[in-house]
């Protein structure tokens, strides 16, 4: 997408649609910026009370003799209530209207900066941009005969100087990371294999300077004694891959964030097989890995002065005569033995080896893992909110602040130590399942066994938020790309 700025409305270029923002007031809507020659066009519907300026309200008008055939009035609500999330939702409606009208080139009139309350100019442009960019996406299915969506290809901000466009161009780079993650999650599992993820990481290393990819095949994974990853992969016709993708934006700094993403490219449940209705979307079980790859791509594109490594233990959890079985015992990379209580609790096994490897070999300052880990977190928090677990308050609070800033919602849940009793084993050090009660907590506690207490660690359970059963405000149906914007915001503020 091309992004440009025009300081004055009368110097704008032709477009398919122009958008004017309005504030809501009891006595009638108030234009948030000059309407220019559109004053008369907007006057009649406003006087007829067909438009009030309430948040999320839009009204499409047609004009003659202007540089645009269409004019869209957009309600932003009350000035004092404007925030980033309401901006995103409002401008997402603009994007959807543009898709409906096949408007690929649009002019956005920016609200008067002098009237902003509580938002900076940078935040204003970020919120407007994200609202347009995040829904401006279409997954192009192979062989699909569906009508292709007309995406917005040019966005011009009216009323700002070109030098002020930094937040908008940054938002575009982050959105591209979100698209990247969505594409991986939406892709069919016969194509998005562990080897495909490995190839994708290598392509990112070629594309961006300061990025390096390392891929372990099955033989090297065996040498690294990643017994849990190997166990999960036993039933698959495709080999596992262990991927690290490192970005050094601050080579003189020892600060290093490790992002671990669950990379189960398809999850049948193994011998504890999932029933019909629960398996069909399990291509999304690698959403954690897609998020960390999308995040690293965005960070590299932005050129952030941080050091970040994405770590992925990639495999399928499939079924054949060699599949790992309930009751089996395997030795992890850490050396801890684990009894398999349920083969459909495979994600924590692959993550355990990835976390342990990160601790031993990557010298992390902090570790954050993301995983579509438990159905329990969906029962507890629904499909809009992820579960956050952390062994340090400072890290948890920083992530929660990034969550608030980006609108990618999280709720902190407890690492309640007494529940460790629930996954004790009679025949091994640990068991990979703790029963139905407090399932998301016991899963997090299991992962905690594979990080050391001196390293700040957070686990984000994205089982409900990674894949959408229906379209939301600025998130399309299917893959959401959840976590990319949150992690980029977090990394910016380290």
Catalytic residue numbers read 274, 348
- Planar angle of CA 300, 482, 189, nearest 5 degrees: 90
Q: Are 261 and 293 in contact (CB under 8 A)?
A: yes
> In angstroms, how far is CA 146 from the centroid of its own chain?
26
Tracing tokens 């809501």 back to the chain, one arrives at: 24
Q: Are 225 and 333 in contact (CB under 8 A)?
A: yes
- Dist CA 169 CA 461 (whole Å): 30
Close Cβ partners of 44 (under 8 Å, ≥ 6 residues apart): none
β-pairing, 337-339 vs 430-431, is: parallel
- Dist CA 152 CA 130 (whole Å): 13
Listed residue (63, 46, 55, 54) closest to 92, CA to CA: 55
- Dist CA 478 CA 476 (whole Å): 6
β-pairing, 337-339 vs 329-331, is: antiparallel
Structure tokens at 144: 């699909």
- Dist CA 282 CA 255 (whole Å): 35
| Alpha helices, DSSP H, located in 255-326 | 287-302
**C-alpha dihedral sign at 127, 129, 135, 137:** negative
β-pairing, 58-62 vs 70-75, is: antiparallel
Q: Burial of 199 by CB count in 10 Å (0-12 exposed, 13-18 middle, 19+ buried)?
A: middle
β-pairing, 58-62 vs 30-31, is: unpaired
β-pairing, 154-158 vs 105-109, is: parallel
């Amino acid at each position: 997408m091309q992004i440009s700025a025009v300081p004055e409305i009368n110097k704008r270029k032709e477009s398919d649609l122009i958008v004017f923002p309005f504030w809501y007031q009891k006595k009638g809507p108030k234009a948030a910026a000059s309407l220019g020659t559109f004053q008369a066009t907007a006057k009649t519907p406003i006087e007829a009370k067909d438009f009030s300026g309430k948040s999320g309200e839009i009204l499409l008008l047609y004009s003659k003799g202007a540089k645009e055939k269409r004019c869209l009035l957009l309600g932003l609500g009350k000035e004092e209530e404007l925030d980033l999330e309401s901006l995103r939702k409002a401008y997402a409606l603009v994007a959807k209207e543009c898709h409906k009208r096949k408007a690929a080139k649009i002019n956005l009139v920016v609200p008067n900066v002098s009237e902003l309350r509580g938002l900076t100019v940078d935040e204003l442009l970020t919120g407007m941009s994200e609202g347009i960019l995040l829904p401006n996406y279409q997954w192009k299915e192979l062989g699909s005969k569906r009508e292709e969506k007309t995406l917005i290809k040019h966005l011009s901000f009216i009323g700002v100087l070109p030098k002020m466009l930094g937040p908008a161009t940054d938002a575009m780079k982050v959105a591209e990371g979100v698209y990247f993650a969505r594409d991986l999650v939406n892709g069919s599992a016969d194509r998005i294999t562990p080897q495909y993820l490995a190839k994708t990481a290598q392509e990112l290393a070629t594309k961006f300077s300061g990025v390096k990819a390392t891929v372990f095949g099955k033989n090297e994974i065996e040498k690294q004694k990643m017994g849990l990853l190997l166990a999960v992969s036993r039933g698959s016709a495709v080999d596992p891959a262990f991927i690290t993708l490192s970005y050094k934006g601050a080579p003189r700094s020892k600060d290093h964030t490790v992002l671990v993403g669950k990379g189960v490219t398809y999850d049948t449940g193994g011998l504890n097989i999932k029933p019909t209705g629960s398996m069909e979307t399990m291509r999304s079980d690698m959403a954690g890995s897609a998020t960390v790859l999308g995040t690293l791509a965005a960070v590299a594109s932005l050129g952030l002065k941080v050091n970040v490594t994405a770590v992925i233990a990639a495999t399928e959890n499939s079924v054949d005569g060699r599949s790992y079985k309930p009751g089996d015992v395997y030795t992890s990379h850490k050396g801890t033995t684990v009894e398999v209580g349920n083969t459909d609790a495979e994600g924590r096994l692959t993550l355990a080896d990835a976390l342990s490897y990160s601790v031993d070999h990557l010298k992390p300052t902090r570790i954050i893992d993301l995983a579509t880990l438990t159905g329990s977190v969906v029962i507890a928090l629904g499909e809009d909110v992820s579960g956050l677990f952390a062994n340090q308050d400072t890290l948890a609070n920083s992530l929660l602040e990034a969550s608030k800033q980006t609108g990618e919602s999280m709720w902190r849940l407890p690492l309640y130590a007494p529940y460790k009793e629930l996954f004790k084993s009679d025949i091994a050090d640990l068991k990979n399942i703790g029963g139905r009660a407090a399932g998301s907590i016991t899963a997090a506690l299991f992962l905690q066994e594979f990080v050391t207490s001196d390293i700040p660690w957070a686990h984000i359970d994205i089982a409900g938020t990674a894949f959408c059963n229906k379209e939301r405000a600025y998130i399309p149906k299917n893959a959401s790309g959840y976590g990319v914007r949150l992690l980029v915001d977090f990394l910016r503020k380290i």
